[in-house]
């Protein structure tokens, strides 16, 4: 199954989760998403991915929006919040159920791991992650009733695998990574507690908002084949994808607060300005010379996706923004 990117409109978006302060790697991804969209003369949208209420922290959304404003990254239209769109996800899920494209799964994570561990040829995904073995795919009505009588609350999984039960191979072209191929298992679109899964919400939201190019961190490339397949099952237009390099800490792990003063507020407390921080981001992307202090509009004139670095940037104390 092969998918090709669209032409023309490049409406983009930045979609953080309001669970913590955005670090410089997050903000650099936001800058890139803004540059991809604005350089094409397209809209740039903001969406809060706040489905997991247990992790959402009060006030974080406002802080994230203020950070983007300080950097000069404007957006079009109101901020969209997933928590306000549950009716839309419910409607889409009913459509999948009506077409027989989802089924209830009663497995716990421990049971899945045990079954996979016992299998001689357990399927693996794009990054080596174990794939769902299809335990509940063909349960009879009686078997489902027995599990529910025992108090098990089912999740809902998409029937992604082929008739032979093997994961489906999905291919797409990424503007930075090139040809990407992944094996897609029967993945969850609604959890056992009734919460909608990220994979469903992000696909529905991108289509509903008219997003035509998804620019996000390279760590999310592994989940894209599932989203590509879901676009196809729902008959939705497929956006283009550009998975951009991450910013890593000196230890080679994804940048995090344990690495020091790595968010905008921290840098401001050290006496730096938003322009200083933006300058570091631009230099790390090859868009500015040492000592440069560009604005986002300056960067638009220099931006060429083909010239972006392909490897992660390592944040080091000596490479700090000032």
Residues acting as catalytic residues: 257
Q: Binding site annotation covers 257? A: yes
Q: For 137, how many CA atoms within 13 A lie in the half-sphere containing its CB?
A: 19
Q: Binding site annotation covers 69? A: no
Q: Binding site annotation covers 17? A: yes
Pairing of strands 178-184, 168-174: antiparallel
Q: How far apart are CA 252 and CA 211, in angstroms?
A: 32
Q: Binding site annotation covers 307? A: no
Q: Binding site annotation covers 103? A: no
Q: Binding site annotation covers 13? A: yes
Q: Binding site annotation covers 256? A: no
Please give the full DSSP string across 272-300, using - where no structure is assigned. Answer: --HHHHHHHHHHHTTSS-TT----HHHHH
Classify residue 195 by its DSSP letter. P
Q: Binding site annotation covers 91? A: no
Inter-axis angle of helices 60-71 and 274-284, nearest 10: 80
Q: How far apart are CA 254 and CA 312, in angstroms?
A: 10
Q: Binding site annotation covers 106? A: no
Q: How far apart are CA 101 and CA 98, in angstroms?
A: 8
Q: Binding site annotation covers 89? A: no
Q: Binding site annotation covers 144? A: no
Neighbouring CB atoms inside 10 A of 14's CB total 24
Q: Which residues contact 147 (CB under 8 A, 6 or more apart)?
A: 106, 139, 154
Q: Binding site annotation covers 49? A: yes
Pairing of strands 178-184, 80-81: unpaired
Can you tell me which residue has the tokens 């230890």? 251
Helices (H), the chain: 24-39, 60-71, 86-98, 109-118, 141-149, 198-209, 224-234, 264-269, 274-284, 296-302
Q: Binding site annotation covers 121? A: no
Can you tell me which residue has the tokens 């191929």? 181
List the binding residues for ATP: 257
List the binding residues for Zn(2+): 105, 107, 132, 136
List the binding residues for L-glutamate: 13-17, 49, 198, 216
List the binding residues: 13-17, 49, 105, 107, 132, 136, 198, 216, 257
């Amino acid at each position: 199954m092969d998918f090709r990117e669209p032409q023309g409109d490049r409406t983009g978006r930045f979609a953080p989760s309001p669970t913590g302060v955005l670090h410089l790697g997050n903000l650099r991804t936001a800058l890139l998403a803004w540059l991809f969209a604005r350089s094409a003369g397209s809209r740039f949208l903001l969406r809060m991915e706040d489905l997991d209420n247990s992790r959402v922290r009060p006030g974080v959304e406002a802080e994230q929006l203020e950070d983007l404003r300080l950097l000069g990254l404007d957006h079009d239209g109101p901020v969209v919040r997933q928590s306000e769109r549950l009716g839309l996800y419910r409607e889409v899920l009913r459509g999948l159920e009506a077409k027989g494209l989802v089924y209830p799964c009663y497995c716990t994570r421990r049971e899945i791991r045990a079954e996979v561990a016992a299998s001689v040829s357990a399927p693996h995904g794009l990054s080596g992650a174990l794939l769902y073995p299809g335990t509940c795919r063909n349960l009879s009505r009686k078997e489902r009733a027995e599990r529910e009588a025992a108090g098990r609350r089912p999740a809902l999984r998409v029937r992604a695998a082929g008739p032979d039960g093997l994961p489906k191979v999905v291919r797409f072209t990424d503007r930075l990574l090139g040809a990407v191929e992944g094996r897609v298992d029967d993945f969850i679109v609604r959890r056992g507690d009734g919460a909608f899964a990220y994979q469903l919400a992000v696909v529905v939201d991108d289509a509903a908002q008219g997003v035509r190019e998804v620019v996000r961190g390279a760590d999310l490339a592994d989940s894209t084949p599932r989203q590509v397949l879901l676009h196809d099952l729902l008959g939705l237009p497929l956006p283009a994808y550009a998975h951009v390099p991450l910013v890593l800490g000196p230890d080679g792990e994804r940048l995090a607060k344990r690495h020091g003063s790595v968010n905008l507020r921290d840098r401001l407390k050290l006496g730096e300005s938003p322009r200083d921080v933006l300058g570091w981001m631009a230099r790390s992307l090859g868009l500015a010379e040492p000592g440069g202090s560009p604005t986002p509009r300056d960067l638009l004139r220099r931006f060429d996706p083909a010239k972006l670095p392909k490897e992660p940037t390592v944040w080091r104390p000596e490479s700090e923004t000032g």
